[in-house]
Structure 1
Amino acid sequence: MYHSALPLILALALSGCQPAVPAAPAITSLKKELVTKTGNTPPSKGKGICWAEDVTPAIIETVTEQVLLRPEIRGPDGAILRAAVFQSEAAQRIVQDRRAVWFRAPCPEDLTLDYVATLQRALKARGYYRGDLTGQLDPQTRRAIRQFQDPLGLDSERLSLAAAQRLGVSATEFKR
């Protein structure tokens, strides 16, 4: 009995000696990556720092409500003599204005054939890309990028660095 448990005990004891591997950050929203565009130059410069620009669309909400045109009329016994008349009225309001934005992006020189094929593979594994692994940023790949990023708050066909990191195709910057 002791001979079969000894390897397990040693493995558990030694596993505590391994250095912790930092986990990739769990990105739930790309909205914090967006910087409102105020000029034609990106927010910062430097080696390996690249930006993409795009326009976030306005978000318009349509609200429909029933408006009472004529109230019901009831008899002395409580029976309805004439039914109420309602009308549907719809109104639109802007929830969020359209705005030009900057966001960090993989640098153009990094968008190699292998990189884009890896991106396509990552998008395909998640069900966003259904095409062949061509290594080209074609319309089908750009559509898949948009479909991946949109629920995260970035409605753009341009790949953000944070989305690339979440997909595992760009290195993640770890903060200690």
Structure 2
Amino acid sequence: MLTGCSIALCLAALSGCDMSGADSPPPEPGVIEATTQGPAGAPPGSCWGRTVSPAVIQTVTEQVQVQPAQISTTGEIQALPIYRTETRQQIVTPRKDNWFETLCADQLTPQFIETFQRALEARGAYAGEISGNFDTATRKAMRAYQISTGGPDSPILAMSTARGLGLIAVDPTTLE
């Protein structure tokens, strides 16, 4: 007799299956943390983050004629046309990957993170401890600040946000 274990879980354990998180696929590169696998044409050695705009799908219902009206040689309608209702899904806007440049992991040193926390604190966006750790409080403040300044809604620090805070030098060739 089995105790403390459901039959399904015990069978999974015996077969070597991992039932935890079976429904969740691994995260895609760039969504949760920065990746060097950026968009096509990205400069070598650069790091990227990504947000995904989901597809917009609408349901379309329309009447489709199956059989035309039967009309006699004198022009009289012998039988009305026959229609059927068809319902289908239609993609209005396809899914889109929105890539943005970010700092690479080796740039996120404790000293950089302390400076980042101070910059957020100076703008009233962070009230936590200046620790040099990219902890939950720092990430939450970064995300809120980043969104409020028009940056991506992402848990990854965008290069544009770091530049806007004065933490990364602005490339003078990009200025107009």
TM score, norm. by length of structure 1: 0.50
Task: Tell me the equivalent position of 1:5.
Answer: none
Task: Tell me the equivalent position of 1:102.
Answer: 99
Task: Tell me the equivalent position of 2:114.
Answer: 117
Count of aligned pairs: 101
Offset of 1:55 from its aligned partner? 3.1
Paired amino acid for 1:170 = I
Offset of 1:99 from its aligned partner? 4.2
Identity over aligned residues, as a percent? 37
Task: Tell me the equivalent position of 1:42.
Answer: 38
Distance of 2:108 and 2:115 partners within structure 1: 10
Distance of 1:130 and 1:52 partners within structure 2: 26
Runs of 4+ in 1 over 2 A off after TM superposition: 53-59, 96-101
Paired amino acid for 2:107 = D
Greater relative contact order structure (CA < 8 Å, 6+ sep): 1
**Aligned-CA RMSD value:** 2.7
Distance of 2:54 and 2:119 partners within structure 1: 26
TM score, norm. by length of structure 2: 0.50
- Tell me the SS of whatever aligns to 1:133: coil
The answer to whether the 8 Å contact 1:145/1:156 transfers is no
Offset of 1:42 from its aligned partner? 1.1
User: Structure 2: 5+ residue runs without aligned partners?
Assistant: 1-35, 57-92
Distance of 2:104 and 2:172 partners within structure 1: 19
Give the alignment of 1:14-163 within 5 angstroms.
41-43=37-39, 44-47=42-45, 49-56=46-53, 99-151=96-148, 152-163=150-161
1:7-47 deviation per Cα after TM superposition (whole angstroms, max 9, x unaligned): xxxxxxxxxxxxxxxxxxxxxxxxxxxxxxxxx94121323
The answer to whether the 8 Å contact 1:56/1:154 transfers is no
